[in-house]
Structure 1
């Protein structure tokens, strides 16, 4: 099993039942839920179903997601989570997502966690391409993706009916060769 991933400050491993209460607490925060697919009514039952569906924490099969806990390496406090999706249609292609608890934001944790996940999927899983999408109003995620080397690839104007309104989605992508060139 490839997990846990570790950085100087973080441990990244599949979300477990021990994380459920903290996971639900930040998912219920209106600012955290604002641009995400869930609402502030996210429940412990929702978290339990998500964790139970994780295929024993192995890498996702094509078409499936794996939710990864981002924890403080010293205290084991849950700081947020990453989502990893393997494309069902394209080989060596992944999509990522990220969510942080409010107390963990603006500390470089998202950058550190996503960078570790990117290193893993490009170097260990030999990813060809990694994508990410965000609501056009979510400027912090757009900035994060750009800092990580993603290129803005698409704007789908009012293409997503989301939380009772049309929203615009921004698409980002990073190819293995782009990441390698940036490392030189």
Structure 2
């Protein structure tokens, strides 16, 4: 997948992205609601890059796509998961470097990714699952017009504590292209 917007490019991560990718993943505030810890290393980044051998994930896989400025600066990434037990169903996530936060990067990147999934890959359903305390991502989901489908209270034991999980989604037939 390679998407070009006016001022962003979304494409598979490259070796040149690893230093910036690792730097923002090591930030405790960035890692707080994510599956990794601030101890994320260069070796972890290289291992993740080495596991991504396609331009789009196969069923059951996740893949990180770099979100770069038009000048090539890594601003963050979008994760795409293809469900293997539900046809045409995808889960997304986004991470934005601290320097790029508050500039609409996550909203633009996620919106373009959903446009691609619905328009080019025939997505039936796209979901985002997030920690209820992640207010910036909740605002992004609402701004995109995703439907808040539910809140599961203290439903996930995550990083040593019970967390409340929200699900946001859109059906392909509802999505604006």
Given the alignment of the two structures, is residue 49 of structure 1 paired with residue 56 of structure 2, yes or no?
no
**Cα distance between partner residues in 1 of 2:143 and 2:77:** 19
| Structure 2: 5+ residue stretches without partners | none
Task: Tell me what 2:92 maps to.
Answer: 96
- Report the CA distance between 1:178 and its aligned residue: 1.5
Alignment-derived partner of residue 7 in structure 2 = 9
Q: Distance in 2 between matches of 1:119 and 1:97?
A: 15
SS in 1 for 2:169: strand
The superposition leaves residues 49-93 of structure 1 with CA deviations (integer Å, 9 ceiling, x where unpaired) of: 11111123x2111110111000011x2000000000000100000
* Partners of 2:56 and 2:19 in 1: CA distance: 24
Deviating beyond 6 angstroms after TM superposition, the runs of 4 or more aligned structure 1 residues are none
Report deviation, 1:4.
Answer: 2.0
CA deviation string 1:86-143 (max 9, x = no partner): 0010000000000000110111111111111111000000100000011010011011
Could you say which residue in structure 2 is the equivalent of 1:125?
A: 121
* Cα-Cα RMSD: 1.0
Output the TM-score relative to the length of structure 2.
0.97
Distance 2:151 2:111 in 1: 24
TM-score by length of 1: 0.93
Does residue 66 in structure 1 map to residue 63 in structure 2?
A: yes
Given candidates 16, 29, 33, the residue that maps to 2:27 is 29
5+ long unaligned stretches in structure 1: none
Give the paired residue count.
177
> Residue 142 of structure 1 corresponds to which residue in structure 2?
138
